[in-house]
Amino acid sequence: MATDGLIKTGIKGLDSILLGGIPRTNVILVQGVTGSGKTVMGSEFIYRGAALYNEPGLIVVFETSPEKLIRDAAGFGWNLDELQQQKKLQIIFTSPEVLDQELRSPDSLLLETAKEIGAQRIFVDGIGLLNTNLVDSNSVHRTYRELLQQLIESLHRENLTAMFSLELGNAHDSIAAAAGSIDFLADTIIQLCRERHGRRMQRSLEILKSRGQDYEGGEHTLHVTGGLGLEVFRRVQAPLPAKSIQPTSSTMRSVIGVEAIDTLIGGGIFDGSTTMVVGVSGVGKTVLATQILREGSLKQKTRGLLISLDEHPAQIIRNAQTLGLKLEEQVADGTIQILFESPQELDIDAHYARIVQIIEERDIQRMVIDGMTSYSTAIGEVGVYRDFFHAMVAYSKQRLMTTFFNYENPEFLGISSYMPDFPLSSIVDNLILLSLVEINNSLHRCISVVKSRGSKHSFDTREFVIGQGGISLVPLQQNQVPGLPLQSYSSLLSRAPTRFSLPTRIENGATVEGKK
């Protein structure tokens, strides 16, 4: 559908879910329980129309005091008084009886006012109250459905795009029954919900129908923010818009920048590939992440994003500094962004939207999520957790962005599965294991590349150390284990390092394996 036939709500995030807006003169019903944001949505629809699109509007209220409506709107930064003075808005306090009469009257004062200000939009707050007015001025009894039809007909005749609010839930029976009638008559139905999740309250929005257009279905997150108004966040698991073309896989390799690791992985990883780095706490996942982004910024000139739910940016920068990785320079010049959000009450749709916004605004080419375990705790629902990562992987691939997911495996010595939460390992392209191996009485850090799609990678488990400059592999020739190098052992990752009976010898720089 051509977008010039659409009316924009101007509500942040909503028009994109409506794929541009709502067909002009559609009758829009906003329904929901008390406190779900219906009046705010109607007021914002009118306010944005007048302030952004030069489409004056009327707000008709039956029970809300206009004075309080103006006061509450001011809390969102909307100056309704000023718009009234500019004749771009008129708030009208009336009764359902009068509204009904007015919209059917040839010399209607309300329609006269609409004409005077050139109104193109109208919001009627509390349409369910019309259900109490079923006898007209000529004492003719009508059904609620007839009354609504008359009302809608009048608005259509005047070419006004109307938004009605309808309270669901605690309303009395007649209003609840009325919802059925208006559901059919309305062209667009937006359902607002206000539900408890654990001990917190969450608002959501769903387009139940919208005649004459396509839209993004499902339950999207709704925020009501002081000083701003409403903001709708597309649900993360919604498939990418069909118009977005999946780019063909790149044949370009993105060098991680840690030479030895690049060698292990077969000369770097493909641009736009996704890599999971699995390891226990303290093994060096965050150091590797920092190094990947810093090296990318310094040597590959790629812009990076580090996302953490665990560590504040200042702490990440400080820790990197202790290893001589001066991250603050890249953070200061904007080549590396650090996004930290508290895992407490994490709103995943809003979080995802924030990530996408940073990536698009900053043209991020390399991203690290550090780490996924905190998402599991913060989100709670496995389905939503899984959807978030599927969405992140799909989005990364669509942008050909090289992405690393750090996953903290709870198993300390040896692991029985890469990721016990759900099998994400199958959808990533590369899998790197960082392990702690106990030899004699000390722990050693090891790295193994388990999978690297399209690459001829090494299957050797190599010892690495963390020091100035970050992670570096221990040269094969160098004995870290007293007396024996790491390659003298088998079963390193299965909690049972076993020493070869004949020690491995190094001859002219090459390893000569012994026998068990």
CA 138 to each of CA 134, 141, 142: distance values in angstroms, whole numbers, following the listed order: 11, 9, 11
- Choices 37-45, 97-105, 282-290, 302-310; region in contact with another protein by CB under 8 A: 97-105
Binding to another protein, residues 229-288 (CB under 8 A): none
Under the criterion CB under 8 A, does residue 66 sit at the interface with another protein?
Answer: yes
62 and 125 Cβ atoms separated by less than 8 Å:
yes
Among 29, 51, 147, 162, which residue sits at the site for another protein (rule: CB under 8 A)?
A: 51
73 binds another protein (CB under 8 A): yes
- Smallest distance from the beta carbon of 132 to another protein, in angstroms? 14
The verdict on 225 binding another protein (CB under 8 A) reads: no
Q: What is the gyration radius of the CA atoms in the chain, in angstroms?
A: 31
Q: Does 93 bind another protein (CB under 8 A)?
A: yes
- Tokens representing 436 are 């702690």
**Does the footprint of another protein cover residue 505 (CB under 8 A)?**
no
Binding flag, residue 113, another protein (CB under 8 A): yes
Q: Is 71 in the site for another protein (CB under 8 A)?
A: yes
**Residue 41 vs 372, nearer CB to another protein:** 41
Candidates 26, 90, 165, 406; binder of another protein (CB under 8 A) is 90
Q: Which uninterrupted H or E stretch holds 167?
A: strand 161-167
Compute the least distance from the CB of residue 112 to another protein, in Å.
Answer: 8
Bridge-based pairing of strands 489-490 and 470-473 is unpaired
Applying CB under 8 A, the span of 61-69, 289-297, 380-388, 436-444 interacting with another protein comes to 61-69
Query: Is 407 in a helix, a strand, or coil?
Result: strand
Judged on CB neighbours under 10 Å (0-12, 13-18, 19+), 33 is middle
Residue 108 binds to another protein (criterion: CB under 8 A): yes
Alpha helices in 363-407 (DSSP H): 372-379, 382-399
* Residue placing its CB nearer to another protein in the complex, 51 or 287: 51
CA–CA gap between residue 214 and residue 193 (Å, rounded):
22
> Pick from 182, 94, 404: which is nearest to 274 by CA?
404
Q: Does a cis peptide bond (omega within 30 degrees of 0) precede residue 371? A: yes
Residue 63 makes contact with another protein by CB under 8 A: no
Q: Which of 15, 55, 100, 102 binds another protein (CB under 8 A)?
A: 102
Is residue 77 a contact residue for another protein (CB under 8 A)? yes
User: Candidates 81-89, 164-172, 210-218, 380-388 — which segment interacts with another protein by CB under 8 A?
Assistant: 81-89
At residue 63, the 3 state secondary structure works out as: coil
The string of DSSP letters for 442-494 reads EEEEEEEEEEETTS------EEEEEETTEEEEPPTTS--BTTB-GGGEE-TTT
Q: Which of 67, 363, 411, 513 binds another protein (CB under 8 A)?
A: 67
Name residues contacting another protein, limited to 126-155 (CB under 8 A): 137
Q: Whole-number minimum distance, CB 186 to another protein, in Å?
A: 24
- The footprint of another protein on residues 313-372 (CB under 8 A) is none
Q: Is 183 helix (H, G, I), strand (E, B) or coil?
A: helix
Q: Does 45 bind another protein (CB under 8 A)?
A: no
Name the β-bridge partners of 270: 253
Reported as type and span, the H/E element at residue 178 is helix 173-185
**Residue 489 vs residues 110, 244, 265: alpha-carbon distances, Å:** 88, 50, 22
User: Should residue 107 be labelled a site residue for another protein when binding is judged by CB under 8 A?
Assistant: yes
Question: CB under 8 A: which stretch of 99-107, 203-211, 302-310, 398-406 binds another protein?
Answer: 99-107
Residue 105 binds another protein (CB under 8 A): yes
- Contact residues toward another protein (CB under 8 A) are 51, 65-67, 70-71, 73-74, 76-82, 84, 90-95, 98-99, 101-102, 105, 107-110, 113, 137
